[in-house]
Every structure is written in C-alpha cells, then in structure tokens.
A and B are shown apart, each in its own frame.
Chain A
C-alpha cells in the first residue's frame, strides 16, 4: 500500500519518454547540491552527529554553528545566481532551482517550504 501511494506521490520516474526535439524533457534523478558537500564537511567538523533526540534542547554553540553554516550556503547560492544562470545538468533547465526537483513529492517545494500543491 505504501508503494502505491509512493508512486502517486513521486514524480514520474521512468515511463515518460525522452523529450521530442522541441521541448526539454524531465529526468527524475534528484541532484545533490554541489553546495551540500561543503555543508556536510562543515557540519561534521563543528557539531555532534545527531541522534534520535526528541527532547533535545538547542545549545548555543550548535545554534551558532548551524546558523553560520546556513548563511554561508545561502551566500554561496546567491553568488552563483549573480554570476549567471544555473543550468541543471539533468534536465537542461536554465536558471531553475538547484537541488532536488521541486515537484518530486507532488507539491511544489523549495528548500523545504511548500509553495503550491
């Protein structure tokens, strides 16, 4: 049952044919952001690995580290945008969102925020 709904929720993975010449096709593989590697390194070096911890309080040091990390990533993305339009290697989309395909779970999401559904 879960699988059936998963297939409903996920964007088309395989049955959509490769685009005809006049339109850009959509390929489903989500692309790990190039920025995320640096994010990973930064987070690993400065904060503890997360465990299942429902009641955990955010301690000041971690909060600062996370904040710095996010700010530097946002800045990086901003700079990319300023230099020229980003081209998605998988879909060929120019100037589109970086990272996972916004509609991969059916709604329209960017960085976790949903904008349309």
Chain B
C-alpha cells in the first residue's frame, strides 16, 4: 500500500475545517516529515451502469421540511436493481454501539435513518464496556482537573481543544442518558454514585452496577426500536462507502452492505453517513473485543480517501487469561479475552515466566506493582525473548479463603478448565483492548470526505492522544455523536442527491458462480490467513516494537496478503465479489497495515507506542501521525474500493 504519512507540524490543532479545501491543504503541507509523499489521486474509471432500474415504490424522495415534527413519517424509498436492492435514507449510520445509536436518535427528528449493523444490534464494544463513563458531576471536581488527567494519560499528545470540549460537554450527555432511561447507580440520597478509577484525580465515574455499557446500550436500543424514523438493518455487513469525486473533494453518498443472512447485496444511498463501527481488536490473536471488531470502518474510510491518524496507539491489557495454559482447553475459542484484574497483583500476586523465574524485578523496582504499561512491556519482552506464549500469575501463596472471596470470577472460570488458582499459577498473556487512533475527525466529527462523519472508537478525535484515560471512551462516543448532529442536518438539507445516484457504482457481487466447493476452500484458507496475520501482528507489531521487527512485519504481511489474494483470484474470485469472511479479512489487512505504518513513522516512545531503538520521548515528535489516502497504482484488493470510482 503506497501511503503517505506525515507529522502535522506546528501545532496539534485538530480544528481544521475539512470542508474548506484550501485551508485543509495548508494544514497538510506544513513542514514535517513526509514519507512516500503523495496526495490523493482520483481513480478515473469508466462507470458500469445498471440499466435495469425498477422503482417499485413510487414515493418520491421529498426534500425534508424544516419542521421537527414527531409525526414525520419515514420516507425510505426502495428501488430494486436486478442484482440487489437500493434503499434511500437521509442518514445512514454504520454501527450500533453508543455512538451510532445516540446519533441516530437525534437525527431521526429531522429525517429518515438507517442503522446498519453487522450482527445483532447489541453486539458491539459498548456492550462489553462494563466499567463506567467519566464526567465532572461533583461540585468538588472541575473540568480543568478532568482535562489535566486526560492530557497526562495521553502523554501530552491530546488535542487540547478536543479535550476541553469533551470534558465540558460530558456532564450534559450523561444527564441526557439518564433522561432517556439509563439507570446508573446512586446513593441512598438519590444522587449519582461516582467512583474513582486509576488516572483520575477525582471521583467522576458514573456506572450501572458493573454493566454500564450494557445498560447504556439497552436504553438507547429501546429508544431506537421505538422510533418510527429509524430502521435497523441487522446482519448487514458494510462493504465499502459509496464515494465520488466532485472536483478536488471526495463526497460520500452512502454505503454498500451485504445481508449475511440472505446473502443479498443492499445499497444504501444516503445524504449523510455516520461511521460508528468501533474498534479493530481482532487484528491481534488475543483481544477483549467481540468478534465484530475487525476494523471495518477504519478500512472503509481509508479506501474512501479519508485521513487516518494515530493508529500506532493500541491499548493492551497485560494480563488476560491465556487459554493455552489451561489444563482443559475451552471447547470453542474464546471470543473475547477474560482480563485478570490489577487487584490480583495488588493483593500480592507474583509474575513468573514458564521457567518459574520471577522477572518483574529485572524491569522495575516496583516489580509487580509497577504501572500497567511497564508490566505489559515486561511480559511482552519475556515472551519475545523466550519465544513463549504466556506467563504465569501466582496468587496461590495467599490465604485460600481470601482468594476465593475476592476473585470468585477468576476462580470459577479457571476451575471449569481444570485449574485451582489457590494452588496453581494463572496463565496470562496481554490482550488488545482499545484503538486510540482511527479516522481523523474534526471538532464536529467531520472528516475530509464530505458527508462522512465519525464517532466513537473508529474516530481519532484527539481526545486520547497516545493513551486513553479510563472511562473516557464512552464519553468521547457520546459527545461526538451529539456534536456531529447539527452539521449532519445542515449537510443533509443542502444535499441535492437524487434517485439516479445509485447508478454511479458497480454493484458488489455475491460469489454464487464459484460453487460451494471453491467457497469452502476459500473460507478455510481465509481462516488460516487470519490466524497468521494475527500471529504476525502480535510477534512483530506488539507492545514492544523495533524498526527491525516492524520492517519484518511489513514484509511478512505484504507476502501474506499477496498469497491470500492470489489464492482468491486463482479460484475465480472477482474484484467486485463479496463474502462476509473475505471482506473482514481485507479490512483486517488494511487496519494491520495502518497500525504498522503508523508505528514505523513514530521515531520516539510515547504512551502506548514503545520502540526499543527510540526508547525516549522526543518533544519535537509530539505530533499526531497522519496517513493520507493511497495513490492506488500498486494497491491491493484490501486497499481499494470494490466498485469503480466515479465523478459526481
């Protein structure tokens, strides 16, 4: 993938208005390091146009009125093309986590909304975010304090204006959630109970028992399902954004999706698109993320010429339960990792490598009580040096009753797999948890692609910088989903999109013609390639990095991708063909390379990004890493859109 990576010099300001082409260009060309320097180039392909358009429902797509009436009826028009269906909406939302749903509920007051989600609607990282959400809700707390904590955690790479906005607007976003029916823990006096998490200097974590994410998701989903203007399309896998060139601008007009239950392609034409597709944990073999988190949104956005930022900052947790070390292996591969709490080490747990050597004192005088990222790097280093797959966390020297009463969840889980933690050490390995980087967003969630907005984990807003502060991710999603609403409405009202837009792009093709034998082979190979990619990412683009390792990763991933694509195309796969697993694989390749290239570009260690050959912070490098769209000349299937590009 030919990509240009640059440091935006001068300042960390994310407030560039991407809608003004000229000023955006100026921000791009501020002196800095340009690697493989090239800007976006349009691909001018001739369009293939379907001639068999039949409009079944003749409700014309009328321009929205200015009334914010609750009785506004959904005017979703469907047109049936020969090989698929086209649907028309004012707003398309990709992803059904907190960001997507929050946004949908607001914009639904102004037009029709499609929420497109690849599995069941509740299946998202939000649902697993079971800690809390941070906000300044206590009189003795302050916005400045929350800001400071965020910036310190972010290793001073945060965008200050973004941080200020999120910390300031957070409390109102929480109050709205409560008004919507989310039920947070409170005291007997009826006031919100606020906890204090690591890195926060005040009590400011709002939570719901310990299922905050799930509770927020539940409340939002209920409201969405009851909203007559919102249509939820579950089991619809988004394939590529529908974009075209309008002079120098790239404009987004919707998204193609595959209904994975019926194996039918659905084209969504929309005036505005919100990308809220979450994270990419599954580029690594061990992750806390559910299976849906394969970086689809980051990949689609990159292919659609959107700018990507700070992908090198991947947050790992040091001690996830390593299934490989359990006497009885789980029957099915665990989908999302079981994290062993800090409290085990806090209560006296000791880390050993597989030779039963206690290694933490070699790395830090605080041994097991060193900060989390020090522990993560130490474990990673041990695993790489010794070529092993997990280490051991031993709490068995502590009183049995205390272990069982404090950690019943771990005890039970391990017991089911033949391990008694009161007698034996627990096998642990770091797991990928959160992507701090993503699609570069302005202060209103806007991207450099007109009509495309982003919110949530898929976005890089400048809030997290080089490392995310605990409980700030749900907050970021809520704030940016809300901020993207007005610009979206404005864009929608000024849009002159019409029914014929659907003709501009070739339709994706379901590979029925290949036959089931070939498909079976392709699926099997894809599964193996996925495991191989995850293994390479963990070994070469893990927690402790080096230029040499990253370059090896570049070579290996390049070869693996070429091998996979060759296999596909040798078996009759065509450029526009789509299948769930193959599309996920191309997104995983795309994201893996984004992470890799970003890591290669940062010649310092900061926050989550640690380089052996650049082990210190460099003030001159305190800048975001930015990846511009690829030139497209030597691109792979994963790095270009399926459909033929066109001019508007």
Grouping DSSP codes into helix (H, G, I), strand (E, B) and loop, the A interface class, with mixed when no group exceeds half, is: loop
Cross-chain contact A26 with B341 (CB below 8 angstroms):
no
Cross-chain contact A43 with B400 (CB below 8 angstroms):
yes
Chain A nearest CB, measured from B195 CB (Å) = 5
Cross-chain contact A106 with B197 (CB below 8 angstroms):
yes
Cross-chain contact A73 with B210 (CB below 8 angstroms):
no
Cross-chain contact B191 with A109 (CB below 8 angstroms):
no
Cross-chain contact A5 with B346 (CB below 8 angstroms):
no
- B408: which A residues are within 8 A, CB to CB? 70, 73-74, 111-112
Cross-chain contact A9 with B396 (CB below 8 angstroms):
no
- CB contact between A70 and one of B367, B404, B471 (< 8 Å): that residue: B404
Cross-chain contact A24 with B197 (CB below 8 angstroms):
no
- B191: which A residues are within 8 A, CB to CB? 22-24
Q: Give Cα A104–Cα B195 distance, bound, in whole angstroms.
A: 10
Given contacts A23-B139, A106-B199, contact A91 B366 (CB under 8 A): no
- A36: which B residues are within 8 A, CB to CB? 401, 404-405
Cross-chain contact A114 with B209 (CB below 8 angstroms):
no
Cross-chain contact B195 with A102 (CB below 8 angstroms):
yes
Task: Indicate if A80 sits at the interface (CB-CB under 8 A).
Answer: no
Given contacts A112-B341, A115-B131, contact A69 B404 (CB under 8 A): yes
Cross-chain contact A24 with B187 (CB below 8 angstroms):
yes
Q: Give Cα A114–Cα B198 distance, bound, in whole angstroms.
A: 13
Cross-chain contact B193 with A24 (CB below 8 angstroms):
yes
**By CB atoms of chain B within 10 A, which of A17, A108, A115 has the most?**
A108
Given contacts A20-B140, A91-B187, A116-B131, contact A5 B371 (CB under 8 A): yes
Stretch from B228-236, B262-270, B413-421 at the A interface = B413-421
Question: Which residues 54-106 in A have Cβ within 8 Å of B in the complex?
Answer: 54-56, 58, 62-63, 66-67, 69-70, 73-74, 87, 91-97, 99-106
Cross-chain contact B188 with A100 (CB below 8 angstroms):
no
Q: Give Cα A12–Cα B342 distance, bound, in whole angstroms.
A: 16
Cross-chain contact B411 with A66 (CB below 8 angstroms):
yes
Question: Which residues 377-425 in B have Cβ within 8 Å of A in the complex?
Answer: 394, 396-397, 399-401, 404-413, 415, 418-420, 422-425
Task: Indicate if B13 sits at the interface (CB-CB under 8 A).
Answer: no
Nearest-CB residue, chain B, relative to A62: B420
Cross-chain contact A9 with B189 (CB below 8 angstroms):
no
- B196: which A residues are within 8 A, CB to CB? 11-12, 26, 103
Given contacts A58-B420, A66-B411, contact A95 B209 (CB under 8 A): yes
Chain A nearest CB, measured from B98 CB (Å) = 14
Cross-chain contact B366 with A1 (CB below 8 angstroms):
yes
Cross-chain contact B418 with A58 (CB below 8 angstroms):
yes
Cross-chain contact B341 with A67 (CB below 8 angstroms):
no
Chain B nearest CB, measured from A15 CB (Å) = 10
Chain A nearest CB, measured from B231 CB (Å) = 32
Given contacts A6-B369, A39-B401, A50-B422, contact A116 B130 (CB under 8 A): yes
- CB contact between A63 and one of B396, B406, B420 (< 8 Å): that residue: B420
- A116: which B residues are within 8 A, CB to CB? 129-132, 197, 470-471
Nearest-CB residue, chain A, relative to B421: A112
- A20: which B residues are within 8 A, CB to CB? 139-140
Q: Give Cα A80–Cα B142 distance, bound, in whole angstroms.
A: 37
Nearest-CB residue, chain B, relative to A52: B397
Task: Indicate if A14 sits at the interface (CB-CB under 8 A).
Answer: no
Chain B nearest CB, measured from A107 CB (Å) = 4
Q: Give Cα A110–Cα B298 distance, bound, in whole angstroms.
A: 32
Q: Give Cα A98–Cα B343 distance, bound, in whole angstroms.
A: 16
Cross-chain contact B197 with A103 (CB below 8 angstroms):
yes
Given contacts A23-B139, A44-B401, A107-B198, contact A63 B343 (CB under 8 A): no
Chain B nearest CB, measured from A68 CB (Å) = 11
Cross-chain contact B415 with A105 (CB below 8 angstroms):
no
Cross-chain contact B400 with A115 (CB below 8 angstroms):
no
Task: Indicate if B221 sits at the interface (CB-CB under 8 A).
Answer: no
Cross-chain contact A96 with B185 (CB below 8 angstroms):
yes
Interface CB pairs A-B, < 8 A, 22 = A2-B365, A2-B366, A8-B198, A11-B196, A23-B138, A33-B405, A54-B425, A58-B418, A70-B415, A93-B187, A94-B185, A94-B187, A95-B186, A96-B193, A100-B406, A105-B198, A108-B131, A111-B410, A112-B340, A113-B339, A113-B409, A116-B131
19 more A-B residue pairs beyond the given contacts A63-B418, A105-B342, with a C-beta to C-beta distance below 8 A:
A2-B369, A5-B369, A22-B191, A23-B191, A53-B423, A56-B424, A58-B424, A66-B411, A67-B412, A102-B195, A107-B197, A107-B341, A107-B343, A111-B410, A112-B341, A112-B408, A113-B341, A117-B317, A117-B470
Closest 7 CB pairs of A and B: A116-B131, A106-B198, A24-B187, A112-B407, A109-B341, A108-B131, A111-B409
